[in-house]
Amino acid sequence: MTGQSNAQHIGEGQDVDLRDIIFKDIKYRKFSAAIISEEEGLVSGIDLLKRRGEEIGVEFLFLLEEGSHISPGTVIAKFIGTPKQIAICEDNLIGLISKYSGVASAAEKVKRVAGKKTKMVCGARKKMPGEIKVFLRRAVECGGLKTRIADKDFIYLDKNYIRMFGGIRESLEAVREMEDRLKVIQIRGETAPIETEALDAARSGADILMVDSGRVNDVRRVADVLRRKNMRGLVKIAFAGGIKLSDIPTLVDEEIDILDIGRTVIDAPLLDMRLDVLGAVT
């Protein structure tokens, strides 16, 4: 029954957990079990794993520290529980950390490939369900990436703000009085050629221009026009849009101050793990 729930509906208003039947003759025995890595990476989500395991009722003997490097065969957690508790753990605990560990591992790989030339961020969390955003942020930061485009407080004006206000200048004018926050604005060449949008934004008080087109030539056009108008030093250039890991070595040599890798990290595959019963506890 691997991969399926053993709680089944058997009649009107009645549910039974088949594990109660399967384990009825050994339900009071205790066994030790471990969650073990099947591949190399970075582990994240340990606090979540511990909390859920304690809710299930197992006793942890060992937990790897958040952010630890793992390889095939690394023991991530070891615990003691009844047969039913261990079966529930197999259905619940691995899923809690395999995704976040995959994200942390991808973030670390991005950081390593990028080196120190360009500030790397991963800002795609807003597209994920709210209940997992905090854990995704921790996983990204565990891997060494920033999750915010700026360390200071900022306002982000995306394409929808621009559409509602009627333009780049109008959007920035609406937030001009918020002097304690950096102004970040998305430009995509939607209202005018992208170099025109860049000049309008820079002249209207933008601090960071997010070139969110995925086209590196747009970055070059923006940087070129800002230099020619002696405005390059007034703003930073950020770049995003479907960037892959293989793109990074080339992009870090472009005139980009901030590179938002987004989905390449957030959509990283699960880090493979398994749960093994180690033996009976006497």
Contact 83/27 with Cβ under 8 angstroms?
yes
Superfamily of domain 7-101+269-281: Quinolinate phosphoribosyl transferase, N-terminal domain (3.90.1170.20)
In whole angstroms, what is the distance from residue 85 CA to residue 59 CA?
A: 10
How many residues make up the chain in this entry?
282
Q: Is the dihedral of CA 238, 240, 246, 251 positive or negative?
A: negative
- Positions in the chain whose pLDDT score sits under 70: 1-14, 124-130
DSSP 125: G
Q: Which residues pair with 276 in a beta bridge?
A: 34
pLDDT at 128: 65
pLDDT at 12: 47
In whole angstroms, what is the distance from residue 70 CA to residue 98 CA?
A: 12
Instruction: Quote the distance between the C-alpha of residue 196 and its chain's center.
Output: 33
In whole angstroms, what is the distance from residue 199 CA to residue 185 CA?
A: 12
Q: Do domains 7-101+269-281 and 146-260 have the same CATH topology?
A: no
pLDDT at 10: 40
What is the per-residue pLDDT across 108-148, written as a single tens digit (0 to 9) for each?
999 999 888 788 998 766 666 667 888 899 999 999 999 89
Residue spans of the domains in the chain: they are 7-101+269-281, 146-260
pLDDT at 115: 84
Instruction: Determine whether domain 146-260 maps to CATH 3.20.20.70.
Output: yes
CB count in 10 Å sphere of residue 182: 17
Q: Is the dihedral of CA 238, 192, 207, 165 positive or negative?
A: negative
Q: For 176, how many CA atoms within 13 A lie in the half-sphere containing its CB?
A: 12
In whole angstroms, what is the distance from residue 188 CA to residue 182 CA?
A: 20
